[in-house]
């Protein structure tokens, strides 16, 4: 082989140097999100009904890992080209700023997590309550703000539900099971007011009344990573209790 042919063969055999390639764009996979319009519906119900149910309460929106506790529910506000991170507190909550009422119709609160990975919840709390206690009026307002507001929580809502909601208050109906997520795994719960006390039956803890598995569980938030945090409050069972009644939550021991 001549020297020239040898150099050509060597050049052909040498690996070419690859230049870095920059890929732009976003995945088209659906992500967890709520429209700002839906969040403002929650705020509207809260502001309209808080005087009768929870006059000193504060409203937050809470996001929790639904399928895997390792998921980090980071959120950002998006509209047009705007991408604005939303700060969450230690419980995964954020407030709805009044100025969001001025945002364009396409505004959303979005997570990087795929659709189905987060549980969204209305969170209403009166400041100054004892640790691991929730006020019944606050929880009733959570129910009202969700089911008559932005419908943030997943739920099974057949046509009969919508007919019932139009005819009566579903947050006091025996046909509707409403619940909330405690801040830690719950072993037991008691409701009390002015010396009167009752224990929440264990069958309503962790959704136990509904069984361990179900074909419709995929339509709900609680049966997965947050199950041991979930407390069901059958609205009709507590109808006679006043708004200031407290629900004490006994945590599970390690």
Q: DSSP secondary structure string, 151-169? A: --S-----HHHHHHHHHS-
**Residue ranges making up the domain that contains 44:** 30-251
Class of residue 63 by CB neighbours under 10 A (exposed 0-12, middle 13-18, buried 19+): buried
Residue 253: per-residue pLDDT: 81
**64 in a domain, yes or no?**
yes
**84 in a domain, yes or no?**
yes
3-state secondary structure of 85: strand
**1 in a domain, yes or no?**
no
Whole-number Å distance between alpha carbons of 229 and 251: 9
Are the C-beta atoms of residues 110 and 39 closer than 8 Å to each other? no
Residue 4: per-residue pLDDT: 43
pLDDT at 241 exceeding the cut of 60: yes
The CA distances from residue 35 to 103, 105, 128, in Å, are 11, 9, 31
Q: How many domains does the chain have?
A: 1
At 20, is the pLDDT very low, low, confident or very high (cuts 50, 70, 90)? low
**5 in a domain, yes or no?**
no
**155 in a domain, yes or no?**
yes
**126 in a domain, yes or no?**
yes
Are the C-beta atoms of residues 142 and 206 closer than 8 Å to each other? no
**2 in a domain, yes or no?**
no
At 26, is the pLDDT very low, low, confident or very high (cuts 50, 70, 90)? low
Residue 229: per-residue pLDDT: 94
Whole-number Å distance between alpha carbons of 67 and 200: 26
This prediction's pTM: 0.85
pLDDT tens digits along 163-214:
988 888 888 888 888 899 999 999 999 999 999 999 888 877 887 666 566 6
pLDDT tens digits along 113-157:
999 999 999 999 999 999 999 999 999 999 999 999 999 999 888
More confident call, 220 vs 145: 145
**118 in a domain, yes or no?**
yes
pLDDT tens digits along 69-123:
999 999 999 999 999 999 999 999 999 999 999 999 999 999 999 999 999 999 9
At 27, is the pLDDT very low, low, confident or very high (cuts 50, 70, 90)? low
Are the C-beta atoms of residues 171 and 147 closer than 8 Å to each other? yes
Residue 157: per-residue pLDDT: 86
């Amino acid at each position: 082989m001549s020297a020239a042919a040898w150099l050509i063969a060597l050049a052909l055999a040498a690996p070419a140097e690859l230049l870095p390639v920059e890929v732009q764009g976003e995945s088209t996979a659906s992500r967890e999100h709520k429209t700002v319009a839906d969040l403002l519906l929650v705020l509207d119900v809260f502001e309209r009904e808080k005087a009768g149910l929870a006059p000193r309460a504060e409203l937050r929106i809470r996001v929790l890992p639904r399928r895997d506790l390792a998921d980090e529910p980071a959120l950002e506000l998006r509209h047009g080209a705007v991408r604005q991170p939303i700060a969450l507190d230690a419980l995964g909550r954020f407030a709805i700023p009044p100025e969001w009422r001025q945002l364009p119709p396409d505004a959303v609160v979005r997570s990087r997590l795929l659709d189905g990975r987060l549980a969204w919840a209305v969170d209403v709390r009166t400041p100054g309550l004892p640790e691991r206690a929730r006020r019944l009026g606050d929880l009733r307002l959570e129910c009202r703000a969700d089911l008559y507001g932005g419908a943030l929580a997943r739920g099974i809502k057949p046509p009969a539900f919508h007919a019932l909601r139009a005819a009566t208050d579903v947050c006091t109906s025996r046909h509707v099971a409403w619940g909330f997520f405690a801040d830690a795994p719950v072993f037991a719960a008691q409701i009390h007011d002015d010396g009167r006390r009752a224990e929440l039956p264990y069958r309503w803890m962790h959704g136990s009344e509904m069984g361990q598995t179900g074909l419709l569980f995929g339509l709900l938030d609680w049966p997965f990573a947050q199950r041991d945090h979930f407390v069901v409050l059958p609205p009709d069972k507590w109808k006679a209790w006043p708004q200031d009644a407290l629900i004490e939550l006994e945590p599970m021991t390690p």
